[in-house]
Chain A
């Protein structure tokens, strides 16, 4: 039973991540390889705020969302001057740089030693430490965030970002500024990722930089590419598929030593096959260009 609760919590955390990134990848049509940066900054910022200054969970999450948003704003301004390959490269470079800093700035982040003993969230005097309590907490955040994101998806802003994706010059001619709109999408998706980071840190109660590597960014992007982007169902299918796939392998009786590699092989193969037969993902509406 605990096992199923754990899976549901992880699905919840990744759903928040993938619905946030959907705004950049699916609506904006920009392949971003730095989502783990915002996820990691969210995890580290909320952890350090809670453990060093002693403020409680909810304000810590909000402050770290603001910090991540500001960071996304600062890096987004130069990064969003690029499209296509160059944008992928810039976000990849950012991912590598932030990981190096998290890993080597030992005084601040404890580097490779990680931060153990992160407290479980306490809201209004109630401590969310049991698994089913935590699942409830994640579910509440998920409903709030997805509600907000679905409104954004259908708002004039969301449609304008889509228009920029489909034909940047035409949309710009209608007065939709790619500079501003892509930047807002990038910042919103960074802030949403920051929230998942905070939830992840307080759920696992231990973080180290290896949870926020380039591989993690590729994994988050792969969720969207497999499930499909640009609509409301794609990220859900992608998340469920990518999180439950390794568990399905476990039931097939694969030993734990080979399971991680087999899982990665399957998702590598899935990407190749999808590019042949369904470049828009299982349930997506947007084909990457």
Chain B
């Protein structure tokens, strides 16, 4: 029983990282309505920038964390400016954007693998201090993940609720054509979406890399985790994304308890397919009338 509760505690910590991934992915998916696969590449870029800063240039950890995040954000915006925006100007369909994004992901990930090698890189060395709470153990890194994750999510939610610009971004997903018609700054809004999305990806990436290290090929896993959480929870409901992340993390913990961690993908994608089949709008979206779709 203690084991299960400890695993559930871990699940809540994991869910905070998954929530970051989900919010970052969901922002682009909700407001642009296309599948930003290169999001996985942003995830990789941020952590590798930190590693480069620390190991090759030799700047201290905290500075390189900031620099890593900044480079991730710049990369995200550059992807939009160099690939997505020009493609959209040519009237590209979502499938074309999807394939271009896939190409971008493959290009960047392999470039990083070429520069840094395919093996796992560790960011923090030495034993991680841990705290005893009753019969449960939580490491310092888990505490940081939990706090950072939830602070980011809650602050972001407050901003969407209060800020007109952010409300505009949320509305952009419903009727993109209206954004231009109302004279809202479409390009600035796009840039903001990619900037914020990359902040979330970079934060999740650095938090994970500090804990367990990173290799160039985990970006796809991160992207898929975020995407599955968003789709399971419901694309149109912000708290649905978070709930999706929580459901994913808890079910994976139960799978670890009952079978082994090797079956995690089965759980993740089993839930995805089940939700798409039986409740395609997501678990927490209200059912839409036919003419609303």
List chain A positions with a Cβ less than 8 A from chain B.
31, 78, 81-82, 84-86, 88-90, 92-94, 96-97, 99-101, 103-104, 214, 218, 225, 258, 261-262, 264-265, 267-272, 275-276, 279, 287-289
Contacts and interface: CB of A to CB of B under 8 A. Distances in A.
A288 B110 contact: no
24 contacts: A31-B95, A31-B99, A84-B94, A90-B272, A90-B276, A92-B224, A92-B269, A93-B272, A96-B265, A97-B266, A97-B269, A100-B266, A261-B111, A261-B113, A261-B114, A265-B111, A268-B104, A268-B108, A268-B110, A272-B100, A275-B100, A287-B93, A289-B93, A289-B95
Interface in B95-124: 95-100, 102-108, 110-111, 113-114
B45 to A, nearest CB: 15
B87 interface: yes
B144 interface: no
B213 interface: no
B100 A265 contact: no
Contacts of B83: 272
- The main secondary structure of chain B at its interface with chain A is helix
B272 A89 contact: yes
Nearest to B107: A268
B276 A268 contact: no
Contacts of A264: 106-107, 110
Closest 5 CB pairs of A and B: A271-B103, A268-B106, A268-B107, A93-B269, A275-B100
A100 B103 contact: no
Chain B interface residue number, banded: 35 or more
Contacts of A94: 269, 273
Contacts of A288: 93, 95-96, 99
Contacts of A276: 86-87, 90, 100
B276 A82 contact: yes
Given A90-B273, A90-B276, A101 B266 contact: yes
Nearest to B95: A288
Q: Which of B94, B110, B272 has the most CB of A within 10 A?
A: B110
B293 to A, nearest CB: 12
A275 B103 contact: yes
A58 B81 CA distance: 54
Interface string B262-276: 110110111011001
Contact of B231 (A89, A261, A270): A89
Contact of B94 (A85, A89, A101, A272): A85
Given A93-B269, A279-B96, A272 B103 contact: yes
Contacts of A268: 102-108, 110
A287 B93 CA distance: 9
B107 A269 contact: yes
Given A88-B35, A261-B111, A268-B107, 11 more contacts: A90-B272, A90-B273, A104-B262, A225-B99, A261-B110, A264-B110, A265-B106, A275-B103, A276-B87, A287-B93, A288-B93
Contacts of A92: 224, 269
